[in-house]
Structure 1
Amino acid sequence: MKALSYFVVILFAVSYTATYAQDVKIGTEITTALKDNTYLSKLNYPKSVIRFYTDNYSGDSWTDSQHGWDQSEIALALLAQADHYGLSLSDYHLESLSFKKLKQWRDFPSEKNQRERVLFDILLTDGLITFINNLHFGKYNPLYNSSRIDSSRTNGFCADEILSVARLQADFQDAILQAQPTIKAYGDFQAYLDRFYAVNKGLPSTAEMAKIILNMERLRWISTQGENYIMVNIPSYMLEFHQGDEVSNFKVVVGKPTTKTPVLESEIEYFSTAPDWRVPSSIFRNEILPEILKDRGYLTDHHYTVYDGSGNEVVVNASTRRKIRNNPTKYSVRQSSGEDNALGAVVFRFQNPHAVYVHDTPQKQFFKRGKRALSHGCIRVENADRLAAMLLSYDDSEYRISELEDAIHSYEKKDFVLNKPLPIIITYLTCLIKEGKPIVYTDIYQFDKSLEDKVNQN
Structure 2
Amino acid sequence: MRRLGYLLLALLLTLVTAGPARPVAPVAPARPPAGGSSSRAASDSLADRIEALLLDTVATPGHRLLQWHDLRGTRDFYQRRAGAPAWCEASRLNAQGQAAVALLLGAEDYGLQPVNYHGPALQALASALNSPVPAARRAALQARLEVLLTDGLLRFARHLRRGQLREFTPSPLEAADSAFVPAAWLARALAAPDFVPVLLRCQPAHREYRQLQQALAHWRRQPWGRDSARIRRAQQLALTLERWRWQPIADTGYVLVNLPAYTLEVVHRDSVLQTHRLVIGKPESPTPTFSSRLRVFTLAPEWRVPYSIATEEILPRLRHSPRYAARHRFLIYDAQGQPVDATAVDWWDVNKKRFRYTIRQRSGPGNALGSVIFRFPNPYQVYLHATYDAHDFKRPYRALGHGCIRMEHPLQLAAYLLRDADSLRATLPTEAALAAAPVPRRITAPRAMPLHVRYATCAVVAGRLRFYPDVYQQDEALRRQLFGR
Bucket of the pairwise TM-score, normalised by the shorter protein:
0.7 to 0.9
Letter aligned with residue 373 of structure 2: V
Aligned with 1:259 (options 281, 285, 303) = 285
Map 1:52-451 onto structure 2 (within 5 A): 52-53=77-78, 56-57=80-81, 59-65=83-89, 69-98=94-123, 100-101=125-126, 104=129, 118-140=143-165, 145-149=166-170, 156-158=178-180, 159-196=182-219, 200=223, 205-247=230-272, 248-307=274-333, 312-316=337-341, 318=344, 321=347, 324-325=350-351, 327-328=353-354, 330-393=356-419, 396-405=420-429, 409=434, 410-434=437-461, 436-451=463-478
**SS at 1:97's partner residue?**
helix
The answer on whether the counterparts of 2:129 and 2:138 sit within 8 Å (CA) in structure 1 is: no
Structure-2 residue corresponding to 1:13: none
In the alignment, residue 359 of structure 1 is paired with which amino acid? H
**3-state DSSP class of the match of 2:368?**
coil
Displacement of 1:167 in angstroms is 1.7
CA contact (8 A) 1:92 1:130 kept: yes
Task: Evaluate the alpha carbon distance shift between residue 421 and residue 449 of structure 1 in structure 2; reply closer, same or farther with a 3 A threshold.
Answer: same
Change in 2 beyond 3 A, CA 1:136/1:154: same
Q: Distance in 2 between matches of 1:272 and 1:109?
A: 79
Shift of 1:383: 0.3
- Segment drifting more, 264-273 vs 327-336: 327-336
Task: Answer whether contact 2:216 2:237 (CA < 8 A) is retained.
Answer: no
How far is 1:324 from its partner?
A: 4.7
Q: Name the aligned partner's letter for residue 448 of structure 1.
A: D
Q: Closer, same or farther in 2 for the Cα pair 1:186/1:146, shift >3 Å?
A: closer
SS of the counterpart of 2:317?
helix
RMSD (Å), alpha carbons: 3.8
What residue is the counterpart of 2:35 in the other structure?
none
Task: Label 1:412 to 1:255 Cα distance change in 2 as closer, same or farther (>3 A).
Answer: same
Which amino acid counterpart does residue 371 of structure 1 have in structure 2?
Answer: Y
Amino acid at match of 1:175: V
**How high is the sequence identity, in percent, across the aligned residues?**
29
Q: Count residues in correspondence.
A: 431
For residue 25 of structure 1, what is the aligned residue in structure 2?
A: 48
Letter in 1 for 2:285: T
- Are 1:73 and 1:99, in contact at CA under 8 Å, matched by a contact in 2? no
1:454 aligns with 2:477: no
Q: So what's the TM-score if we normalise by structure 2? A: 0.76
Question: In 2, Cα distance between the equivalents of 1:108 and 1:62?
Answer: 21
The one-letter amino acid paired with 2:94 is W
Local SS of the residue matching 1:293: helix
Aligned partner of residue 422 in structure 1, secondary structure: strand
Q: Distance in 2 between the 1:262 and 1:439 partners?
A: 22
SS in 1 for 2:119: coil
Code of the aligned partner of 1:80: L
Q: How far apart, CA to CA, are the structure 2 residues paired with 1:93 and 1:331?
A: 64
Show CA shifts across 1:160-193 (max 9, x none).
3322221221111001111222232322223323
Question: Which deviations, in whole Å up to 9, do the C-alpha atoms of 1:394-418 show, x marking residues without a partner?
Answer: xx22332122327973433333334
SS in 1 for 2:478: helix
3-state SS in 2 of match to 1:269: strand
The alignment partner of 2:380 has SS state of coil
> 2:258·2:456 contact (CA, 8 Å) conserved in 1?
yes
| Structure 2 counterpart SS, 1:62 | coil
1:112/1:212 Cα in 2 relative to 1: closer, same or farther (>3 Å)?
closer
After superposition, the Cα gap between the structure-2 partners of 1:420 and 1:30, relative to the gap in structure 1 and judged at 3 Å, is farther
Residues 425/437 of structure 1: CA separation in 2 closer, same or farther (3 Å cut): same
State the alpha-carbon separation in 1 of the partners of residues 152 and 353 from structure 2.
60
Task: Give 1:20 deviation, angstroms.
Answer: 11
Contact 1:232 1:240 in 2 (8 A): yes
**Paired residues of 2:88 and 2:97 also in contact (CA < 8 A):** no
Query: Secondary structure in 2 aligned to 1:95?
Result: helix
Report the more deviating stretch, 159-168 or 63-72. 63-72
Structure 1: which 5+ residue stretches go unaligned?
Answer: 1-17
- Provide Cα deviations, 1:227-272, integer angstroms capped at 9, x if missing partner: 2122212222111111123212111111112221112222223222
State the TM-score, normalized to the length of structure 1: 0.80
Gaps of 5+ in 2: 1-40
Instruction: Give distance in 2, aligned partners of 1:101 and 1:63.
Output: 11
CA pair 256-41 structure 1, distance change in 2 beyond 3 A: farther
CA separation of 1:162 and 1:419: change in aligned 2, threshold 3 A: farther
- Which structure has more relative contact order (CA 8 Å, sep 6+)? It is 1
Bigger Cα Rg: 2
Distance 1:309 1:33 in 2: 74
Note if contact 1:185-1:432 (Cα within 8 Å) is conserved in structure 2.
yes
Distance in 1 (CA, whole Å) between partners of 2:415 and 2:308 is 33
Give the direction of change, closer, same or farther, for the CA distance of 1:336–1:435 in structure 2 (3 Å limit). Answer: closer
Tell me the distance in 1 between the aligned counterparts of 2:389 and 2:354: 28
Q: Which moved more, 1:428-437 or 1:193-202?
A: 193-202
